[in-house]
C-alpha cells in the first residue's frame, strides 16, 4: 500500500503526536563532563576556543559542579596539568600531591553521587608534549610509557577515582594498568579504555585548553589512522582482551560508523567522546548565524546515542537542561 493511502506525515503532524513516536532524549545520567583542573585557588579561566568551558582550580570546580550534579549528570572526567617544571617522563602526572590527585577526593566528598573519572596520560606533563618518554630516535618508547601510565592510574585510583581512562594509545597499556591496579589492591577500579582513538584533526581546542600539543612531530605513530578503520577496530578488540571494563570511540561524530561497529562487536559498555573540535564547530556555526546552537547540539547528541553509545563524554553535559 502506497500514497495516497499511506501518508507518513500523519505520524508527525503535531508536537504531541511526534512526542509519542520520537525516541526519548538521552538521559542526563549517561553524560560525563570533561573537566580541566588547574593549580591554585579562585581560578576560572575561559577557554577561548571552547565557549562555555573553563580551566578551574579545585574550589571553583566544586562550585561549578553543584548545578551540574543537580541536573543528574552521571559524572566528570578530569584532565590535569602542571604549572611546575615539565620533564621527559611526565613525572608530575603521578605526583600524589598533583592537582588531579587532590581534586578526586574533594569531588567525592562533595558529590558522592557523581562518578569520578580521570584521564591517564602524560602529554600535559612532558617537556615535549608526547604521551610517553622518547627513545634515542625521538619516538615514544611504548613499553617505558606503559610503566609510567600504570603509575598515573594507580595514583588516581588511590585518590579515589571510580574510573581510570588511559588515553595514550600505547600497545599493551590496558594490560599493564590492569595488572598494576590488581597488584595494589585496586581491582575494583573501573578501566575505561580510549580503545579506538583516532589521530584526528579535531583535538585543537582541547590541546589549547591543556597546553598539550607536541613540540615536534605528531601523534600519528601511536593514535589510530582514520584511513585504516579495520586496524582501529582491532585496538578495541585487544583492549577488551586485556581487561578493559568500558571501550571508547574518539572522536564521536566523524566516526559514527566505527562506533556502531564497536557496539555490534562487544557486550562491554561503549563510550563516545564528543570531542572539543566537534563542540566548537557547532558553536562557530551558530555564531555565524548558520544554525541554531541548541538544535544542532541536540541533533548531534542523538546521533551519537543512536549509533550505539552507552556513555556520552561531552562538553554539552553542563547544559543538559537547556538542551532537553
Q: Which of 30, 86, 108, 250 is catalytic?
A: 250
The four Cα atoms 86, 96, 111, 53 give a dihedral, to 10 degrees, of: 0
Q: Give every CB contact of residue 254 below 8 A, 6+ residues apart in sequence.
A: 198, 200, 202, 226, 278
Q: Let me know the angle formed at the C-alpha of 88 by 226 and 77, rounded to the nearest 5 degrees.
A: 55
- The owner of cell 604549572 is 83
Q: Beta strand 54-57 with 44-46: parallel, antiparallel or unpaired?
A: antiparallel
Q: Is 181 exposed, middle or buried (0-12, 13-18, 19+ CB in 10 A)?
A: buried
Q: What gap in Å lies between CA 83 and CA 45, rounded to an integer?
A: 14
Is 220 one of the annotated active-site residues of the chain?
A: no
- Select which of 30, 86, 197, 220 is catalytic: 197
Which position has the grid cell 548545578?
67
Task: Single out the residue of 112, 126, 49 nearest to residue 81, CA to CA.
Answer: 126
197 an active-site residue? yes
Which residues are designated catalytic?
197, 250
Amino acid at each position: 500500500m502506497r500514497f495516497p493511502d499511506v501518508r507518513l506525515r500523519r505520524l508527525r503532524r503535531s508536537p504531541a503526536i511526534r512526542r509519542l513516536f520520537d525516541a526519548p532524549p538521552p538521559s542526563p545520567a549517561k553524560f560525563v563532563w570533561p573537566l580541566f583542573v588547574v593549580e591554585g585557588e579562585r581560578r576560572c579561566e575561559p577557554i577561548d576556543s571552547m565557549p562555555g568551558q573553563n580551566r578551574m582550580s579545585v574550589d571553583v570546580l566544586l562550585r561549578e559542579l553543584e548545578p551540574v550534579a543537580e541536573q543528574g549528570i552521571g559524572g566528570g572526567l578530569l584532565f590535569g596539568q602542571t604549572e611546575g617544571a615539565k620533564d621527559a617522563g611526565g613525572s608530575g602526572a603521578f605526583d600524589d600531591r598533583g592537582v588531579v590527585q587532590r581534586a578526586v577526593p574533594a569531588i567525592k566528598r562533595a558529590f558522592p553521587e557523581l562518578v569520578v573519572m580521570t584521564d591517564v596520560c602524560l602529554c600535559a606533563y612532558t617537556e615535549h608534549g608526547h604521551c610517553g618518554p622518547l627513545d634515542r630516535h625521538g619516538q615514544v618508547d611504548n613499553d617505558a610509557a606503559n610503566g609510567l601510565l600504570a603509575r598515573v592510574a594507580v595514583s588516581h585510583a588511590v585518590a579515589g577515582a571510580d574510573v581510570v581512562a588511559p588515553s595514550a594509545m600505547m600497545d599493551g597499556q590496558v594490560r599493564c594498568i590492569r595488572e598494576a591496579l590488581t597488584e595494589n589492591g585496586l581491582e575494583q577500579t573501573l578501566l575505561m579504555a580510549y580503545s579506538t582513538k583516532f589521530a584526528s584533526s579535531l583535538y585543537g581546542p582541547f590541546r589549547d585548553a591543556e597546553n598539550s600539543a607536541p613540540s615536534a612531530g605528531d601523534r600519528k605513530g601511536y593514535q589510530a589512522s582514520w584511513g585504516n578503520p579495520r586496524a582501529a577496530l582491532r585496538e578495541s578488540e585487544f583492549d577488551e582482551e586485556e581487561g578493559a571494563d568500558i571501550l571508547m570511540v574518539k572522536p564521536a561524530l566523524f566516526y559514527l560508523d566505527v562506533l556502531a561497529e564497536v557496539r555490534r562487536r562487544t557486550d562491554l559498555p561503549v563510550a563516545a567522546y564528543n570531542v572539543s573540535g566537534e563542540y566548537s564547530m557547532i558553536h562557530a556555526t551558530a555564531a555565524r548565524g548558520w544554525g541554531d546552537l541548541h538544535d544542532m547540539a541536540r541533533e548531534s547528541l542523538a546521533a551519537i546515542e543512536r549509533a550505539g553509545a552507552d556513555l556520552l563524554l561531552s562538553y554539552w553535559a553542563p547544559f543538559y537542561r537547556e538542551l532537553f
